[in-house]
Structure 1
């Protein structure tokens, strides 16, 4: 069973973030440039929110905001669910499903050390299942390890 730490080891180390005062347009430009679906909103080293494509799509046009002048803090999701590096992929999948979220910041000793996405979690679940299937096939056929 994979852990969050193992997922992070296979990802680039960068964690993209903006300040609460960053405009929505600037955040969207960063997200487009880095090909990511969300950015963390940080005040110094403190995580204060997350801003995603979903926040933009559901709040800017519907609430009559302007992307050019609205700060991210006005539209970000303030209740951010986080995980630790020791947590399992299955725990992440359960949390993401229950809370209907696609991004989980990874926090260790109060510091953000990474972010896992639903894509990362699905990839890890598929990899874990493939490994389990291979082990079962070896066991059933009698060609297991050490024989």
Structure 2
């Protein structure tokens, strides 16, 4: 099974970030603009948390708070589950399944190195299985 580094090599390691001092409304605008479901929260180039659509639904809307007045730092997940570039894809799938999360920050040497989503993990696994099946079919049929 592959490593997180394989996913980042395929998709790149561009990560959209926001400061904890921005409002939730600012974050929502960025989520919509970039068509993404999570933002990494960075303060003075230091990774401090994650803000997701789920944070918004559970910590703003359902609590009757205003997205234009609530700061990201007040509702972000400040200790998100994260992985390294050397963690296996299988490990990521288990983490995401067991913790009911859709996004995993990739951290190396206390620096944000990327972000992978459940979609990235599933795509990688499907592509890997397809490759294995094709190779087995060629082997069985005697093709090279």
TM-score, length-scaled by structure 2: 0.94
Given that residues 24 and 72 in structure 2 are in contact (C-alpha distance below 8 angstroms), is that contact kept between their aligned partners in structure 1? yes
Mapping 1:62-81, distance limit 5 Å = 62-81=62-81
Given that residues 7 and 124 in structure 2 are in contact (C-alpha distance below 8 angstroms), is that contact kept between their aligned partners in structure 1? yes
Using the alignment, how far apart are the partners of 1:13 and 1:89 within structure 2? 16
Using the alignment, how far apart are the partners of 1:46 and 1:81 within structure 2? 16
The residue that corresponds to 1:114 in the other structure is 114
Cα RMSD of the aligned pairs, angstroms, is 1.3
TM-score, length-scaled by structure 1: 0.92
Q: Does residue 56 of structure 2 align to residue 56 of structure 1?
A: yes
The residue that corresponds to 2:125 in the other structure is 125
Query: Which ranges of structure 2 fall in alignment gaps of 5 or more residues?
Result: none
Given that residues 2 and 89 in structure 2 are in contact (C-alpha distance below 8 angstroms), is that contact kept between their aligned partners in structure 1? yes
Using the alignment, how far apart are the partners of 1:13 and 1:96 within structure 2? 19
The structure 1 segments of at least 4 consecutive aligned residues displaced by more than 3 Å after TM superposition are none
Give 3-state SS (helix, strand or coil) of 1:41's partner: strand
